[in-house]
Structures are given as structure tokens and as C-alpha cells.
């Protein structure tokens, strides 16, 4: 396995370019993380101004994706990277698509928040959504840490955590359907709440994808669609 | 603008390699297209066996994604492509992620079909879902044609069509919420129907992404997140 040392090139500019895209990626990750937190906060605290800010900020995240994509393409064209450098760039190209889509899901949560604030709708089920959001946000932070530290063990741990996200979402969803059946007058609002849960579950999926790219980057093994428990035994 | 002629290389093997990944991509596209059709057919005809086949076949699509990804990475490492070749490979790497996720959405529709078949649930709203599915499936076919013929005009036309998908879905969704409020006893089944609509809308989003990659491939311009009407004026 080749060494993952990005300072190994004789060209200082090349080292700097690789370091730059990694930093851009981590910046984008930080922005997206904040969007998810703020979107949930706007919902829980009925803060319409904050929700609107989240929606506006999504444009900046989209622009980041395009910028990083272009930088990566240029490095491939100019530097003809091989082995671990190439894997880094491919992992970045893949990860930013997931980060951009996490941003889209945060925007959806913010839009649902505005809908519910306008209807002055509050529900005990907000706290169930908050619980789901806490698990999802924590996993996202850890996935970004794994990416920053190039830590495949942490990445695998977080990828395995996605089952808990799915279970928690299933539970939330079942509850929501029962509540809807009992309160058809609140249906439109409850649907919005349930969509926000779905958005969180999607964020969990994208987080898992990012973890898989980290493992691919370090281990040089494409583990997508494989059973994670098997991978744990075979590659770790 | 450099020429998009994949037969231009002195190395016959290199030409063949590029042609191979394009063919693999189109094969994968054909598989995914069929999955969407079959998933909808299983729902409309209450064909549980067909729905189960769709779910099983999704594994093959996932495997295709990994295979194509590996071929692309190998070509980059071995051939150090530049300009239009590199754009082709990046467009392929991006497109297969969307194709794989279209496959996931088809699988969701098939799972909802099984749920509804088990409950012997039928509804007049199946035909509204069918209408949405027709638009979405047609756009997907056209997007794959645009990719096969490297036709940016067709790609732009189909990308612009996504607004109609979104409007049709919004309409369907509003109807579903009204029907749910009036028939709380059918809520669980109606939620499944509404999820299938959401899956179709997502397929529309992924189809639009593929169209944007075709435009990027030909025009060398990243048009994601830009206003498509502006792009039409400026680049076509």
C-alpha cells in the first residue's frame, strides 16, 4: 500500500494544491454541518429569520461544490496523479456531491420550519425529531473528523452507526403515521414534520457515503454496497 | 473547444478503453431504465413476483457502479487523460452515482408495491402516479439518449423538463394529503403511495443531473446550480 503522505512530492506547488483541495473540502464540510444545526434550531425555536438564512446560504454551498470540482479536474489534468493522490481526488469529487446534497436536505428542513412557523404549529413530536437530529449531526461531525484525520477506523465506526439512524427514523415514522391517523385535522403540518425526519435520514445516508470514501481513500478498497461487518473482519 | 472524438488517439487500446466505459455506462443506464419501468408495472398490476425481481436486481446495478468507477480510476492512472477525455471520465464518474441512486428509488417503489399488494390496496390515485411515472421515465430515456449521442441540445431540453416533473409531483402530493385527511383509515397505504411519488420526483432530479453532466462534457462548462434559461441564452 502506498503511503498517504501529501508532502512527499518534489513539487511544492503540487503539495500545496493537494492540501488546498483537502482544506476546501473540510471548509465545505464545516459549512454543511452548520446548515444542518441551524435548520433544526430554526424549527425547534420557531426562528423564521434563521430558517431563511439557511435557505440563502445553500447557494454558497452549491458554489463551493462547483469550485472544488473544477480544482480537482485541473489537478488531474495538470499533475497526472497516481495511486493515493488520485484516490484522494476521486474521494473528494465523490464526497462533495454528498456534502452538497446534505446541504439540500438542510434547506428542506428549513423550508418545513417556515411552513410550520407560519401555521404556529407545535408538537410533542418535535423532541423525537430532535433526538434523531442529534444522532445524525453527531455522525456527520465524526465523519468529517475521520476525513480530516484520514482515520479509517473512525470512518468504519460511523458507517456502522447508520443502522441506528435508520432504526430511529423508522420508529419516528411509525409514530408519525399513528398520530396522523388520530389527528387528520393536523395532517398537513404532520406531513411536514415527517418530511423533516426523512431529510435527516437522508443526511445519515450521505454521511455513510462519506465514511466509505474515507475508507476507500486509505485502504484503496471500494467497500460500497458490501456488508460492513464483513469489511470490518477482512480489512481492519 | 477541443474535439470530442474518442477515436483520435494513436493508441488503439486507449480508444477501446474509453469506448468501453461509455458502453458500460449506457448498459447501466439501460438496466436502471428497466428497473423504473418494472417497479411501476409491479405496483400498477399488483405483481409481487416482479417487484421482488426489481429488488434483487438492484444488487447488480450497485456492482456495475463499483466496476465502472474502478475502470475510470484505472484509465486516469494509466492514460493521464486531458481535456475532453478527462471530462468524459469525470462525467461518467458523476453519472453512475446518479444512475445507482435512480436504481435505489426504483427499489423503494418496488418495496412500496409489495406493501400495497400485501394489503390488497387499490386506489384511483394509481393513475395519477402512473402519469407522473410516464413523464419521469420518458425524461430518463431521453437523458440516456443525450448521453449516448453526446447531444447537449437534447440534454438541455430534458433538464428544463424537470420543472414539469416537480409541478406534477406537487399536484399529486397535494391531492394525496387531502385524500389522507378524508380517509385516515387508509393512511398507511396512502403514505406508501405518496412515498412512491416522492421516489419518482427524486428520479427526475437525478435525470436532470445526468443532463447537466452531458452539457459539461460537450460544452466544457459546469452549469450545475445555474439558471437553465440563462445557460440556454449564453451557451447554446
Domains and CATH numbers, chain B: 12-235 (1.20.58.220)
Q: What is the mean pLDDT of the segment spanning A216-224? A: 78
Query: In the Cβ-directed half-sphere of A171, how many Cα atoms lie within 13 Å?
Result: 11
Instruction: Give the model's confidence band at A227: pLDDT under 50 very low, under 70 low, under 90 confident, else very high.
Output: confident
Partner-chain contact B73 A87, CB within 8 Å: yes
Mean pLDDT along residues B80-89: 84
Give the per-residue pLDDT at A222: 73
pLDDT in tens, A130-141: 999 999 999 999
Position A233 scores a pLDDT of: 80
Q: Rounded mean pLDDT of B93-108? A: 95
| Geometric angle at alpha carbon B61, from B88 and B51, rounded to 5° | 140
Check residue A65 and give its pLDDT: 93
Angle (CA) B197 B201 B206, round 5°: 145
Q: Cell numbers 458554489 correspond to what residue?
A: A63
pLDDT tens string B28-50: 999 999 999 999 999 999 999 99
Cα B165 to Cα A128, B32, B39, B77, B132, distances in angstroms: 32, 19, 18, 39, 7
Q: Please state the rounded mean pLDDT for residues B63-81.
A: 90
In chain A, whose CA is at the least distance from the CA of B189?
A: A177
Vertex B166: Cα angle to A38 and B120 (nearest 5):
100
Query: Are residues B185 and A188, on separate chains, in Cβ contact within 8 Å?
Result: no
pLDDT of residue B85: 86
CA distance B52 to chain A (A): 19
Give the A-side interface with B, CB within 8 Å.
Answer: 59, 62-63, 65-66, 69-70, 73, 76-77, 80-83, 86-87, 90, 93-94, 97, 177, 180-182, 184-185, 187-188, 191, 222, 224-225
Question: What pLDDT was estimated at residue B1?
Answer: 44
Largest CA distance in chain A: 68
What local confidence, expressed as pLDDT, does residue A84 receive? 81
DSSP per residue, A108-146: HHHHHHHHHHHTT---TTHHHHHHHHHHHHHHHHHHHHH
Which of B75, B97, B108 to probe the A interface (max A CBs under 10 A)?
A: B97
H/E run at residue A57: helix A48-79
Nearest to A188 among B94, B177, B185 (CB): B177
- B97 with A94: Cβ contact below 8 A: yes
Q: Which residue from A33, A109, A41, A96 is spatially nearest to A69, judged by alpha carbons?
A: A96
pLDDT in tens, A49-101: 999 999 999 999 999 999 999 899 899 988 888 778 888 898 899 999 999 99
**Model pLDDT for residues A26-58, shown as the tens digit of each residue:** 999 999 999 999 999 999 999 999 999 999 999
A1: pLDDT strictly greater than 50: no
Q: CB-CB: which of B66, B81, B97 is closest to A225?
A: B66
Burial track A23-60 (b if 16+ CB lie within 10 A, e otherwise): ebbeebbebbbebbbbbbbbbeebeeebbeebbebbee
Q: How do residues A159-218 score in pLDDT, each as one tens digit?
A: 999 999 999 999 999 999 999 999 989 999 999 999 999 999 999 999 999 999 999 888
Start-to-end CA distance of chain A, whole Å, equals 14
Within its chain, how far is the Cα of B170 from the centroid? 19
The verdict on a CB contact (< 8 Å) between A224 and B82 is no
The predicted model scores a pTM of 0.89
**pLDDT score, position B218:** 84
Can you tell me the distance from the alpha carbon of A105 to that of A99, in angstroms, rounded to the nearest whole number?
Answer: 10
CA-based nearest residue in chain A for residue B87: A73
Name the residue among A70, A82, A97 with its Cβ closest to that of B222. Answer: A70
Amino acid at each position: 500500500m502506498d503511503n498517504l503522505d501529501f508532502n512527499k512530492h518534489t513539487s511544492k506547488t503540487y503539495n500545496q494544491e493537494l492540501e488546498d483541495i483537502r482544506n476546501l473540502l473540510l471548509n465545505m464540510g464545516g459549512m454543511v454541518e452548520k446548515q444542518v444545526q441551524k435548520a433544526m434550531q430554526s424549527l425547534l425555536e420557531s426562528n423564521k429569520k434563521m430558517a431563511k438564512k439557511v435557505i440563502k446560504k445553500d447557494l454558497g454551498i452549491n458554489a463551493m461544490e462547483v469550485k472544488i470540482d473544477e480544482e480537482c479536474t485541473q489537478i488531474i489534468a495538470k499533475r497526472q496523479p497516481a495511486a493515493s493522490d488520485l484516490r484522494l481526488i476521486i474521494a473528494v469529487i465523490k464526497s462533495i456531491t454528498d456534502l452538497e446534497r446534505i446541504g439540500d436536505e438542510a434547506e428542506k428542513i428549513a423550508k418545513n420550519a417556515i411552513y410550520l412557523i407560519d401555521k404556529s404549529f407545535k408538537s410533542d413530536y418535535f423532541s423525537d425529531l430532535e433526538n434523531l437530529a442529534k444522532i445524525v449531526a453527531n455522525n456527520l461531525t465524526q465523519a468529517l473528523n475521520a476525513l480530516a484525520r484520514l482515520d479509517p477506523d473512525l470512518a468504519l465506526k460511523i458507517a456502522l452507526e447508520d443502522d441506528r439512524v435508520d432504526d430511529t427514523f423508522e420508529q419516528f415514522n411509525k409514530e408519525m403515521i399513528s398520530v396522523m391517523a388520530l389527528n387528520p385535522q393536523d395532517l398537513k403540518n404532520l406531513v411536514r414534520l415527517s418530511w423533516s425526519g426523512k431529510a435527516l435520514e437522508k443526511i445519515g445516508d450521505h454521511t455513510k457515503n462519506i465514511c466509505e470514501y474515507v475508507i476507500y481513500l486509505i485502504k484503496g478498497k471500494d467497500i460500497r454496497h458490501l456488508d460492513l461487518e464483513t469489511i470490518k473482519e477482512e480489512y481492519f
